[in-house]
């Protein structure tokens, strides 16, 4: 680090001292001071990371198996109930092979993390006891390796070395959960609404909440939810459409974050452009407009059939329909979709017709303002 001035860093740290400061607080101050000087040269970020890692090493146990034992034996601070963070299976494997696993860990590899990367690990990925970080990054990687490979200790050590030497990493849910009592390792889940009813909507919402709780991201299509104004036979009332429903999903994504305050919930909502609520859907993330018509914490995508783009190109009319009145459109693509869609048009089952380019302009305008909705081409997806 030829471009770091240690005297300057020390002077800035001294300027921030106060009576009774602990060595841990002093290290944090030094790391933050060095990080703030990164604009002068990137080497200051390296220094900040090394100070922060060294500080964590002072606060945590060195022996992997002993750290895992602490995590397994954890008791709830209020009730005293045994609340292990490590699964019984993983714990038994680690204890049985403690000497091999302990000796395989190279703690100096922690110092290869950037300051931002290390702080991210510290904030969200490393397991904590009573809100204090208990793991080192190398502990996390070995926990993940054992959680994946189980009794295959050779495989676990090989995977640990590959991850710790930065040849690859696993996705966040795997780093969060491998080896723990909630070993959900998958990143993404694709769902469809179980049915167009209160029971179906809330059953699906419950699924989304449970997936998000275990750090999974969600892709959900709402093509088959009836449009605003559609008759509800059971109550002889009319549907409020997609927007109020999606606001409920939006609040759930905010409340049930991924892994318990580790990162925000991520729900991506998909809709085909023939749905009668498409204009309201496209506007859900806009920065302006009535708050009750916005749900800005969800992600949005349009599932685009080729016929729509053909009509945009030819500046033709596009028909908006309710899936309850025009069923089956979300289940087909290509020629079958065009045959069914144009058949509904001939029967005049659509709610209204608009210029295809008018809808396309609204989509593009929202993309410019918010970066969404994403575009996925239906036929290309199924045929390639």
Number of domains in the chain: 3
Neighbours of 348 (CB within 10 A): 8
pTM of this structure: 0.85
Q: What is the pLDDT of residue 234?
A: 79
Q: What is the pLDDT of residue 259?
A: 58
Do 117 and 89 belong together in one domain? yes
d(CA 214, CA 183): 8
Do 260 and 353 belong together in one domain? yes
Q: What is the pLDDT of residue 263?
A: 74
Q: What is the pLDDT of residue 260?
A: 61
Domain ends where: 34, 59, 84? 59
Residue 283 belongs to domain with CATH number: 3.20.70.20
Do 18 and 92 belong together in one domain? no
Do 87 and 226 belong together in one domain? no
Do 360 and 250 belong together in one domain? yes
Do 172 and 271 belong together in one domain? no
Q: What is the pLDDT of residue 258?
A: 60
Do 340 and 230 belong together in one domain? yes
Do 36 and 130 belong together in one domain? no
Q: What is the pLDDT of residue 3?
A: 87
Q: What is the pLDDT of residue 239?
A: 92
Q: What is the 3-state secondary structure (H, E, C) of the chain?
A: CCCCCHHHHHHHHHHCCCCCCCHHHHHHHHHHHHHHCCCCCCHHHHHHHHHHHHHHHHHCCCCHHHHHHHHHCCECCCCCCECCCECHHHHHHHHHCHHHHHHHCCHHHHHHCCHHHHHHHHHHHCCEECCEECCCHHHHHHHHHHHHHCCCHHHHHHHHHHHHCCCCCCCHHHHHHCCECCCCCCCEEEEECCCCCHHHHHHHHHHHHHHHHCCCEEEEECCCCCCCCCEECCCCEECCCHHHHHHHHHHHHHHCCECCCCECCCEEEEECCCECCHHHHHCCCCCCCCHHHCCCCCEEEEEECHHHHHHHHHCCEEEEECCCCCCCHHHCCHHHHHHHHHHHHHCCCCCEEEEHHHHHHHHHHHHHHHCCCEEEEHHHHHHC
Do 2 and 102 belong together in one domain? no
Domain ends where: 38, 59, 80? 59
Do 226 and 112 belong together in one domain? no
Do 84 and 220 belong together in one domain? no
Domain ends where: 183, 217, 250? 183
Q: What is the pLDDT of residue 257?
A: 79
Residues of the chain with pLDDT under 70: 258-261, 381-384
d(CA 319, CA 354): 7
Do 103 and 132 belong together in one domain? yes
Domain with 305, as residue range(s), is 188-383
């Amino acid at each position: 680090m030829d471009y770091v001035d240690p005297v300057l860093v020390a002077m800035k740290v001294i300027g921030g001292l106060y009576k009774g400061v602990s060595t841990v607080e002093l290290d944090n101050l030094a790391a933050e001071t060095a990080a703030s000087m990164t604009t002068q040269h990137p080497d200051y970020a390296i220094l900040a990371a090394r100070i922060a890692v060294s500080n964590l090493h002072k606060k945590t146990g060195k022996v992997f198996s002993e750290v895992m034992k602490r995590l397994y034996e954890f008791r709830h601070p209020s009730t005293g109930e045994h609340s292990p963070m490590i699964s019984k299976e993983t714990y038994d494997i680690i204890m049985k092979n403690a000497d091999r696993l302990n000796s395989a860990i190279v703690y100096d590899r922690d110092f290869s993390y950037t300051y931002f990367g290390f702080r991210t690990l510290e904030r969200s990925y490393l397991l904590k006891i009573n809100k204090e970080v208990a793991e080192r990054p190398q502990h996390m990687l070995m926990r993940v390796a054992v959680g994946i490979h189980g009794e295959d200790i050779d495989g676990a050590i090989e995977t640990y070395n590959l991850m710790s030497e930065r040849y690859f990493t696993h996705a966040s849910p795997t780093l969060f959960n491998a080896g723990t009592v909630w070993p959900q390792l998958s990143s993404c889940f694709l769902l469809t609404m179980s049915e167009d009813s209160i029971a179906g909507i809330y059953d699906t919402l419950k699924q989304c909440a449970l997936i998000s709780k275990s750090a999974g991201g969600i892709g959900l299509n709402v093509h088959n939810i009836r449009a605003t104004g559609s008759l509800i036979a059971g109550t002889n009332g009319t549907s409020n459409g997609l927007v109020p429903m999606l606001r409920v999903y939006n609040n759930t994504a905010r409340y049930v974050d991924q892994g318990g305050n580790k990162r925000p919930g991520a729900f991506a909502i998909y809709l085909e452009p023939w749905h009668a609520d498409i204009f309201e859907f496209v506007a859900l993330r806009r920065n302006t407009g009535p708050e009750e018509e916005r749900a800005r914490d969800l992600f949005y995508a349009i599932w685009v059939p080729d016929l729509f783009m053909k009509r945009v190109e030819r500046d033709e009319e596009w028909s908006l329909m309710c899936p309850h009145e025009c069923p089956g459109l979300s289940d087909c693509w290509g020629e079958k979709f065009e045959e069914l869609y144009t058949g509904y048009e001939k029967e005049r089952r659509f709610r209204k017709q608009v210029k295809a380019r008018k809808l396309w302009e609204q989509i593009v305008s929202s993309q410019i303002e918010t970066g969404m909705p994403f575009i996925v081409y239906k036929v290309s997806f199924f045929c390639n």
